[in-house]
Amino acid sequence: MNKVEGVILDWAGTTVDYGCFAPVNVFVTIFKNAGIDVTMDEARAPMGMLKIDHIRAMLSMPRLSGLWEDKYGRPFEEQDVEKLYAEFEPALMDCLSQYTDPIPGVIETVDKLRSQGLKIGSTTGYTNTMMDVVVSNARQKGYSPDSYVTPDDTHSCGRPYPYMIYRNMEQLKLSAAWGIVKVGDTTSDIKEGVNAGVWSVGVVIGSSEMGLHQEQFESLAPSEQEKIIADTKEVFLQHGADFTIHTMSELPALIEQINSLLLKGFRPGCSLT
């Protein structure tokens, strides 16, 4: 069957939690509690990774590692990572249920894809414990994929490793990487898809990469919206995305386009120009 048979979706910033604000707010808070003021951009940069890896990546940023040395008189150590994560997890769990609303257009898009016979998998940077909250709340609000895999299921090898996608393939009995489309809202998502050999798609509006609340985005002038959309798309493409879409509502049409490419012999990662 020379066509797309499955879609693997990210969670926060792609299907729920417009702008991916649940984790980013907590990252800012735990660093502030440690005496380090981080910017929203710094807190977002590693988004999509397993959350303890995210903290490690933040501490490895030159500016933040320098601030840490200035404050504590030594470079950060693994015990610092673990201490910050020990604060991060309960703080996120306290607020996570508030950030499980499906992003506009997601429920309708998934229904349409299912009606076309596609299977819907998902990957995440959240742990199983976190996903217990997200999955149950999102289901009550109308969104529920056929499967989900967390880094806990892949021996803590989260993005950009491809293993969560492979586990979805196994669970959903998907036969070939070229017949799978991975959609996400971070550069970690894009790299995950590239490394798995699937079609890698970045969704722009509502993404962590864009980093705006829905009200903030909608209040921008059309020219400002166009610029931030173009800038976000460019980031995804620079990290290897095969395609970008403005919103999830564009995904069914994109899959039709990919099916046409597959019939012509194209595969993920091929130059389409």
pLDDT digits (tens, 9 = 90+) for 148-201: 999 999 999 999 999 999 999 999 999 999 999 999 999 999 999 999 999 999
> Does domain 6-20+101-263 fall into CATH 3.40.50.1000?
yes
Round to whole Å and give the CA distance between 243 and 258. Answer: 10
| CA separation for the pair 55, 57 (Å, rounded) | 5
From residue 37, give the alpha-carbon distance in Å to each of 41, 59, 87. Answer: 12, 12, 16
Is residue 45 within 8 Å of residue 61, measured between CB atoms? yes
Which residues, in sequence order, are CB contacts of 120 under 8 Å at separation 6+?
Answer: 6, 7, 9, 110, 113, 114, 145, 146, 147
21-98 has CATH 1.10.150.240 classification: yes
- Specify binding-site residues: 10, 12, 185
Domains 6-20+101-263 and 21-98 share a fold: no
What is the mean predicted confidence (pLDDT) over 66-93?
97
How many CA atoms lie within 13 Å of 253's alpha carbon, on the beta-carbon side? Answer: 7
* Share of the chain residues as helix, strand and coil, in percent rounded to the nearest 5: 55, 10, 35
At 204, list the tokens: 């722009």
* pTM listed for this prediction: 0.93
Q: Would you list which residues are annotated within the binding site for Mg(2+)?
A: 10, 12, 185
Question: Mind listing the pLDDT tens digit for each residue in 218-234?
Answer: 999 999 999 999 999 99
Closest CA to 50 of 91, 22, 85, 90: 85
Residue ranges per structural domain of the chain: 6-20+101-263, 21-98
Task: Name the pLDDT band for 273 (thresholds 50, 70, 90).
Answer: very low
pLDDT value for 46: 95
The pLDDT value given to residue 270: 82
Note the pLDDT of residue 271: 64
pLDDT score of 1: 66
pLDDT in tens, 118-141: 999 999 999 999 999 999 999 999
Beta partners for residue 9, in sequence order: 122, 183
Q: Give the separation between CA 186 and CA 65, rounded to whole angstroms.
A: 23
77 Ramachandran zone, left/alpha/beta (phi>0; psi -120 to 50): beta
Does residue 263 register a pLDDT over 90? Answer: yes
Q: How many CB atoms lie within 10 A of CB 79?
A: 8
Residues serving a catalytic function are: 10, 51
Q: What is the mean pLDDT of residues 237-257?
A: 98
Distance between start and end Cα atoms, the chain? 25
Neighbouring CB atoms inside 10 A of 99's CB total 20
Residue 272 has pLDDT above 80, yes or no: no
Strand order from edge to edge, sheet including 6-9: 119-122, 6-9, 180-184, 199-203, 243-245
Q: What is the DSSP letter of 61?
A: S
Question: 3-state SS of 159-184?
Answer: CCCCHHHHHHHHHHCCCCHHHEEEEE
